[in-house]
Amino acid sequence: MAKKLFYPGHTGCAGCGMAIIFRHVVETLGPDMILVNATSCSEIISTPYPRTCLGVPYIHVTFENAASVASGIVRALKAQGNTHTKVVIFAGDGGTYDIGFGAVSGMLERNENVLYVCYDNEAYMNTGNQRSSATPKFARTTTSPVGKIHPGKDMFKKPIVEIVAAHKVPYVASASVGYINDLNDKLRKAASMDGSKFIVVFSPCVPGWGEDPSVTLDVGKLVVETGLWKMVEIVDGKRTLTYRPKERKPVGEYFRTQKRFKHMTKEMIGEMQAHVDKEWEMEG
Ligand SMILES: Cc1ncc(C[n+]2csc(CCOP(=O)(O)OP(=O)(O)O)c2C)c(N)n1
Ligand SMILES: [Mg+2]
């Protein structure tokens, strides 16, 4: 990483996955950047007015329009003849998979010269843990409660990597806080390319997931080792797995680390194992 651009004293929870990712995004890509930050935990913890933990130019935008604002900044820099400053978005899954998705899709369709980083903590966390389309099946949130009728969330997670890749942008990748060197490699590679780049990063949330603050990095590894989170890269349409677990661990090991999955029965775990096994059949 380059020089210090993300300072101590932010208000993130102990063990927050996003704060680790945020620091690496800013310090790996900065300082010649303009950071566009959608409303989310990342904005709340980094910029409680009048303080900030960020050492780069920053604009906080509404939940739904980060991709539109970033597009405007790209145009303004172009009008100024500035060909070096990177425009980087940092946004949550709610702002990306759901509410800001129209703007994201428009940005990708125009192939704007923006690097979009989505940290995926699998729910709307800063408003108290409501489910998003990134929430995995069976996870308990306040709006996918566990009861007699519903076993937590009923649906699978939205396949955002494939959806973004369908826009045929130059670079799409997934990463995890558990593999930080891989994330930094992907950030550097994406930043060296023109056009729209998109990286989604697995980001454990201590209070929302009911995990111990000490296990964030372990959970970020386990989700990959069980095969629940694939680490991929799609460069100019060519897809590669950037990490393949030697032997996939049983998914139950991952579910056991978090209270949001505490209610899962053997059958539910079996269903998820079958789902993951099927997902991996295509990898050969
Ligand atoms: C249109 C709109 N709806 C709802 C809100 C309230 N709101 C602010 S942040 C947020 C959740 C953000 O979720 P996500 O993008 O996943 O980031 P996280 O909080 O999980 O870090 C919500 C619902 C809002 N600001 N604007
Ligand atoms: Mg979220």
In single-letter form, the type of residue at position 186 comes to K
Q: What is the pLDDT of residue 229?
A: 98
126 lines ligand 1 (CB under 6 A): yes
Q: What is the pLDDT of residue 284?
A: 82
Atom of ligand 1 nearest to the CA of 132: 16
Closest residue CA from atom 2 of ligand 1: 63
pTM (2 d.p.): 0.98
Instruction: Tell me the C-alpha distance between 100 and 113, whole Å.
Output: 18
Q: Could you tell me if 15 and 212 are in contact, meaning their C-beta atoms sit under 8 angstroms apart?
A: yes
Q: What is the pLDDT of residue 29?
A: 97
Q: What is the pLDDT of residue 2?
A: 55
94 lines ligand 1 (CB under 6 A): yes
Instruction: Tell me the C-alpha distance between 276 and 263, whole Å.
Output: 19
CA distance readout (Å), 3 to 31, 56, 133, 269: 8, 11, 36, 44
Closest residue CA from atom 4 of ligand 1: 63
Q: Could you tell me if 142 and 133 are in contact, meaning their C-beta atoms sit under 8 angstroms apart?
A: no
Interior angle at CA 122, CA 236 and CA 7, nearest 5: 85
Closest residue CA from atom 7 of ligand 1: 127
Paired residues of 129 in beta bridges? none
Q: Helix or strand or coil: residue 266? A: helix
**Strand runs labelled E in 164-204:** 171-176, 197-202
Mean pLDDT for each 10-residue chunk of the chain (284 residues)? 84 98 97 98 95 96 96 98 98 98 98 99 98 98 96 97 98 98 98 98 98 98 98 97 97 98 98 98 91
Instruction: Tell me the C-alpha distance between 265 and 16, whole Å.
Output: 28
Q: What is the pLDDT of residue 179?
A: 98
User: What is the distance of C-alpha 57 from the center of its chain?
Assistant: 21
Note the ligand closest to the C-alpha atom of 37. Answer: 1
Residues listed for the chain: 284
Which class is 17-281 in CATH? Answer: alpha beta
Helix or strand (DSSP H, E) at 68: helix 66-79
Instruction: Tell me the C-alpha distance between 279 and 283, whole Å.
Output: 8
Q: What is the pLDDT of residue 235?
A: 98
Ligand 1 centroid, distance to 116 Cα (angstroms): 17
Closest residue CA from atom 5 of ligand 1: 63
Structural domain spans, the chain: 17-281
Q: Helix or strand or coil: residue 274? A: helix
